[in-house]
Amino acid sequence: MSTITKQITEMVDMLPEKEQSLAFELVKRLVLAWDPDYTKVTPAEDAKLEQARAEFARGEYTRHEDIDWN
């Protein structure tokens, strides 16, 4: 968690519950304005996706048939 995220969390936690709900709605609207269909990824998510793509390209994956689903 970034420093600013921790600070925001601490500040919101100081608020009464009703105002916490208002802060949540504000943050939710900011996120939706930034990415209305949830298709953007954060830098951390992008790094994980790139790692997964590289592993897949190297053949480092488990086939569906090899998993015991029972």
pLDDT at 1 > cutoff 90: no
Mean pLDDT for the stretch of residues 1-19: 94
| Whole-Å CA distances, 63 to 51, 56, 66, 67, 69 | 18, 11, 5, 7, 12
Domain spans, the chain: 3-61
Residue that the structure tokens 């939706």 belong to: 32
In 3-state terms, what secondary structure has residue 70? coil
Q: What is the pTM of this model?
A: 0.55
Which tens digit of pLDDT belongs to each residue from 12-59?
999 999 999 999 999 999 999 989 888 898 899 999 999 999 999 999
Q: Where are the alpha helices (DSSP H) in the chain?
A: 3-14, 17-34, 43-57
Residue 13 pLDDT: 96
Res 18: pLDDT: 94
